[in-house]
Amino acid sequence: MTNKNELDNDEALQERLKEIKNQKGIIGYILRSSNSAAVDLKDPQKIIDYAVLSSAVLDLSNNMTEKLQVGEVEKAVVESDETKLLSIKLGNNHLSIFMEQSVDHNKLCKELK
């Protein structure tokens, strides 16, 4: 059963995500919990592509950390020429933020923790 603290934390996280979403270079985010998901992307047509990518990043991170024995995943970052994906565990939630290459993902991590 969800307690009040968790609800407060979730609400605070949603607030922070709204702020982050408006920052320059942020493409959008996918927030998954055990029983729901919140998606906010600038290009809604790409929801499926980004959801598949977010899930594949999580799978690869878990597989690599297990095989190379570096412990449970805290965060993962994927970088292509123009785009970056920050995948981070926040309590019971798993957050994927998509952004342009120029965005400082370490700064975002600090804002979220």
Partner 1 sequence: MNREPYAISLNSALTEIKKTYPGIHHSFLFTNTGLIVAKDLETNEEVIQNIFESFDDLKEKTKTIGNINNFSVTGKNGKLFLSNVDDMYLVLATSKSVDESQINSITKIIIPTILKTVETLVSTHLQSKPEKKLIVDTISGFFAGDSVQIDKETLIDWTNTLDSDEIKKTKVTKEETSDSIDQVKIETFAGNSVLCKVKEITDPKLKVKNLIRIPEKICKSLVVKKGDQVLVKPML
For position 71 contacting partner 1 by CB under 8 A, the verdict is: yes
Which one among 67, 102, 110, 113 touches partner 1, defined by CB under 8 A? 67
| Nearer of residues 67 and 110 to partner 1, judged by Cβ | 67
Element at 84 (helix H, strand E) = strand 83-90
Q: How far is the CB of 3 from partner 1 (least distance, A)?
A: 25
Residue 6 beta carbon to partner 1: minimum distance, rounded to whole angstroms: 22
Residue 14 CA to residue 68 CA, distance in Å, equals 34
d(CA 23, CA 6): 26
**Which of residues 31, 53, 95, 108 is near partner 1 by CB under 8 A?**
53
Distance (Å, rounded) from C-alpha 90 to C-alpha 6? 11
Q: At its nearest, how many Å lie between partner 1 and the CB of residue 46?
A: 6
The helix (H) or strand (E) run that includes residue 41 is strand 37-41
Residues binding partner 1: number (CB under 8 A)? 32
Q: Is 81 in the site for partner 1 (CB under 8 A)?
A: yes
Is residue 99 at the binding interface for partner 1, with CB under 8 A as the rule? no
- Provide the CA 6 distance to its chain's centre, in angstroms: 18
